[in-house]
Amino acid sequence: MYATIKGGEAAIDNAHQWLADERRGDRAVPELTTPQIYEQMGRAVDRVMIEGSLADPALAAVALKQAQGDVAEAVFLLRAYRNTLPRLGYTEPLDTRAMCLERRITPVFKDAPGGQMLGPTFDYTHRLLDFDFASCSEPGSAARATPDHDDPAVPVTERLVAEGFIEPEVPDDSQAVADITRESLALPAGRDARLQALARGDEGFLLGLAYSTQRGYGGHKIYAGEIRQGEVAVSFVPDELGFAVDIGRMTLTECQVLTPEQTDSDRGPGLARGYGLAFGRGERKALCMALLDRSLQARERGERIDAPAQDEDYVLGHLDGVRAAGFLEHLKLPHYVDFQAELATLRSLGQSASEETDDSNREDTA
């Protein structure tokens, strides 16, 4: 009896048992704890949180552990869990201007009020594999810069707005902010929905697309205006209180990129900006997001759209890693019914083709 793809329940149970066994690995090696993951694998945790749309390092660590370090799988686990949580309300807009800075760089200015702070960055490290990590590595405690409150680091973009180079971004409270986790994303999308989609997007996909804009596919000259990283307060207005209370703090990375306005734009000369924001130290993600926020402004800025990164249908339609991985991997599901229908068609096409050949042979001989 044919049973290659069938055989359901027992096979599934056995496969999952094997998976769990493999996850644990050699029992002689101590089991990984989730605090070890979120304390020592913070960048992976940050990525799982932003693509999973849930700011919870402990749960992201559980997801990474359960997924055996497979980031895409961990993102999926976190999203599916997030989805079952009740929606109590929306926090007040985060004030990144009041961020307690740990890192702040303004590559477009040699110096800026508030100064430059490198913070805990991989930049300027020599990527020499450090064999000490193969055993144990106990670094000394680090000296940390503390922000100077007398010299606040006002985002440099504000000065450029004041000088008239950038159009101010005026808050529009006339309509509710989109929530792409609660409503189907309709195209063309507003910037709110676009930024949400980019924030949840797969970093690898975003990186490749953002890079393509730098290589001339819909690109502009791009400047990183400002990157800031640090803690911000999260505040919420409970219905029963009617005023905002701080309910916690979270580390964020914010990035603003600047492009000189294109000549084919229908606006005047100046600078346009793109915006990126990621949980934790997701700096590459925030930067990619900012580049793509800018390239996707092509439609509203009346620019010529001729590259993938400017095409909203293309970018927003394909950036979600959970969706992409799911659909790609569904190829592993049985497809024998459609494939067989395909083969049957091919056979009948082959038959009619060979009949035609026979006919033409006959004609030749006749």
Partner 1 sequence: MSTVAPEADGLPGYNFAYLDEQTRRMIRRALLKAVAIPGHQVPFAAREMPLPYGWGTGGIQITAALVGRSDVLKVIDQGADDATNATSIRRFFARTAGVATTEDTSQASLIQTRHRVPETPLRADQVLVYQVPDPEPLRKVEPRQAETRRLHAAGDYGLARLALYEQVARYGRVRQAYNHPVLVNRGYLASPSPIPRFDNGKLDDNSALQLFGAGRERRVYAIPPHTRVESLAFDDIAWDTDANDQACSQCGSTDTYLDEIVLDDAGTRAYQCSDTDYCGRQQWGGVGHG
Question: What residue ranges bind partner 1 (CB under 8 A)?
Answer: 2, 5-9, 11-12, 76, 79-80, 82-84, 86-87, 181-188, 313, 317, 322-323, 325-330, 333-338, 340-345, 348-349, 352
CB of 65 to partner 1, least distance (A): 17
CB of 184 to partner 1, least distance (A): 4
Q: How far apart are CA 190 and CA 331, in angstroms?
A: 33
Task: In angstroms, give the least distance from the CB of 265 to partner 1.
Answer: 22
Query: How near is the Cβ of 322 to partner 1 at its closest, in Å?
Result: 6
Q: How far is the CB of 127 from partner 1 (least distance, A)?
A: 34
Three-state secondary-structure class, residue 62:
helix
Nearer to partner 1, 5 or 118 (CB): 5
Closest CA to 168 of 151, 155, 152, 153: 155
Task: Please report how close the Cβ of residue 320 comes to partner 1 at its closest, in angstroms.
Answer: 8
Shortest spacing between CB 200 and partner 1, in angstroms: 10
Q: Tokens in use for 71?
A: 């980031």
Closer Cβ to partner 1, 6 or 144, answer by number:
6
Nearer to partner 1, 36 or 83 (CB): 83
Judged by CB, which is closer to partner 1: 95, or 342?
Answer: 342
Considering the complex, state which of residue 2 and residue 133 has its C-beta at the smaller distance from partner 1.
2
Judged by beta carbon, residue 44 or residue 185, the one nearer partner 1 is: 185
Burial class (CB in 10 A: 0-12, 13-18, 19+), 145: middle
Torsion of CA 339, 343, 344, 348, to 10 degrees: 150
Bridge partners of residue 246, in order along the sequence = 235
Nearer to partner 1, 100 or 341 (CB): 341
Widest distance between CA atoms in the chain: 101
| Main-chain dihedrals φ then ψ at residue 323, nearest 5 degrees | -65, -45
Q: Which helix H or strand E contains 232, and what residues bound it?
A: strand 223-236
Q: 188 preceded by cis ω (within 30°)?
A: yes
Instruction: Give how far the C-alpha of residue 280 lies from the chain's centroid of Cα atoms, to the nearest Å.
Output: 13
CB of 37 vs partner 1, minimal distance in Å: 21
Comparing CB distances to partner 1, the nearer of 165 and 314 is 314
Nearest-angstrom CA–CA distance, 138 and 263:
54
85-112: b (≥16 Cβ within 10 Å) or e: eeeeeeeeebebeebebbbbbbebeeeb
